A = this chain, B = another copy of it.
C-alpha cells in the first residue's frame, strides 16, 4: 500500500515536472477544434467555397485562402475581380481564430468581421453584402439551411459571416511534430530540428513568434533594427489607429504551417523560408544568421506543419431561375 502510494506520487510528480517543462516553452501546442454547432459549420463551409458571393461568380473565400494549399494562395499578392492585383499577401486562414485580430493591419477584430470584408471589396470579390444576400435568398436549399441553423429562414449578412467564421474556427492544425515534441514525445524532432528550435529561442525570434500560434498575438514594426525596403505601399497598422508610431507596424504572422504558406511577409517578397529567416534576423534582431543556423531554423519551422483540413468537398446547392446571375465581364 505504501509502495503503491509512493509510485503514484512519483508519477504525479513526474507528470507535473513534464507539464512545467512544457509550460515553460514559449510555444504551446494547438488544441483540436471543438465545433459547437456542426450545422452552422457545414453551412459556413458551403459559403466559404461558394463563388456566388462574388460579382463574377468565380471567386470564393477558398480562392485566396485555398485549403488545399495551407489556407493561402501561394501568390505574392492575390488576384481579385477582373484580375486586379491585390495590395497585400493573403494570410493563411488556418489557425486564424488564434490571432488577436484579422488582416495584416488588424482592422477586423475577429473572423466574423473579417469575412464581410473581401465580399464587398471592389478589388477582391467586388460584390455587395446586399447582393450576396439576394443570391442566397433565391436558393431554397440555402434558405432551409439558414432556417435549420438560426431557427428562422431570414438571411442577412450577419448570419452569413457568423457561419463562415464558425467554419473557419474549425480550421486549426493540431498534431504537428513540434506539438508532439512539446507534449513529451522527445523522438518527434531530429537533432537538427531541435538545434533550430534552440537558435530560434536564443536569437530572440520567440519575442514575437510565441504562444500557440507561434505569432498572431501582437503588432510589431517590420524593420526594427534596419528599415525594410519594399515597393509595396502598405503602411500597416497606422491605417487603423492613425498613430504615426504604428507606421509599418503589422500583425506578426503565425508560423504554424509556414512550410505551406509561401511566399512570406506582407508583400510576399521572400520566396523561401531561408530568405525569410535571413531577413528577419538582420532587420528585426540585428543578427546575421550563418548558413548553418538558417538551415537549422528552417528545419525547425517545417516541424510546425500540422494536421491539414480533413473534410469532404462541399457540394453547393444550385441556383434557381430567380437567382441573380454573375456578371464577370461587366
| A68 interface contact, C-beta 8 A | yes
User: What are the 7 closest A-B residue pairs judged by CB atoms, nearest first?
Assistant: A83-B83, A272-B321, A308-B315, A68-B316, A260-B318, A313-B313, A58-B79
| A155 interface contact, C-beta 8 A | no
Contact with B along A267-303 (1 / 0, CB 8 A): 0000111100000000000000000000000000000
| A328 interface contact, C-beta 8 A | yes
Asked, given contacts A79-B56, A326-B74, A328-B75, whether A262 binds B319 with beta carbons under 8 Å apart, the answer is: yes
Q: Which of A65-87 contact B (CB under 8 A)?
A: 66-70, 73-75, 79, 82-83, 85
Asked, given contacts A73-B57, A326-B74, A326-B75, whether A312 binds B310 with beta carbons under 8 Å apart, the answer is: yes
| Closest chain B CB from A181 CB (angstroms) | 21
Question: B-contacting residues of A (Cβ < 8 Å)?
Answer: 49-52, 56-58, 63, 66-70, 73-75, 79, 82-83, 85, 259-260, 262-263, 271-274, 308-316, 318-319, 321, 325-326, 328-329
Which of B49, B70, B85, B325 interacts with A271 by CB under 8 Å?
Answer: B325
A51 CA / B313 CA spacing, docked (Å):
17
A276 CA / B97 CA spacing, docked (Å):
46
A271 CA / B326 CA spacing, docked (Å):
11
A83 CA / B74 CA spacing, docked (Å):
19
A85 CA / B273 CA spacing, docked (Å):
36
Chain B neighbourhood of A51, CB < 8 A: 66, 69
| Closest chain B CB from A30 CB (angstroms) | 17
A85 CA / B326 CA spacing, docked (Å):
14
Question: Across the two chains, which residue of chain B brings its CB closest to A309?
Answer: B313
A259 CA / B318 CA spacing, docked (Å):
7
Q: In the complex the two chains form, is B318's CB within 8 Å of A274's CB?
A: no
In the complex, 21 of the A-B residue pairs with CB atoms within 8 angstroms, ordered by the A residue number, are A52-B74, A56-B79, A57-B73, A58-B63, A58-B75, A58-B79, A68-B313, A68-B314, A74-B319, A74-B326, A75-B326, A79-B328, A82-B83, A83-B83, A85-B329, A271-B321, A271-B325, A274-B321, A311-B313, A312-B313, A313-B313
A319 CA / B321 CA spacing, docked (Å):
42
Q: In the complex the two chains form, is A57's CB within 8 Å of B82's CB?
A: no
A82 CA / B173 CA spacing, docked (Å):
33
Asked, given contacts A58-B75, A311-B313, A326-B74, whether A318 binds B68 with beta carbons under 8 Å apart, the answer is: no
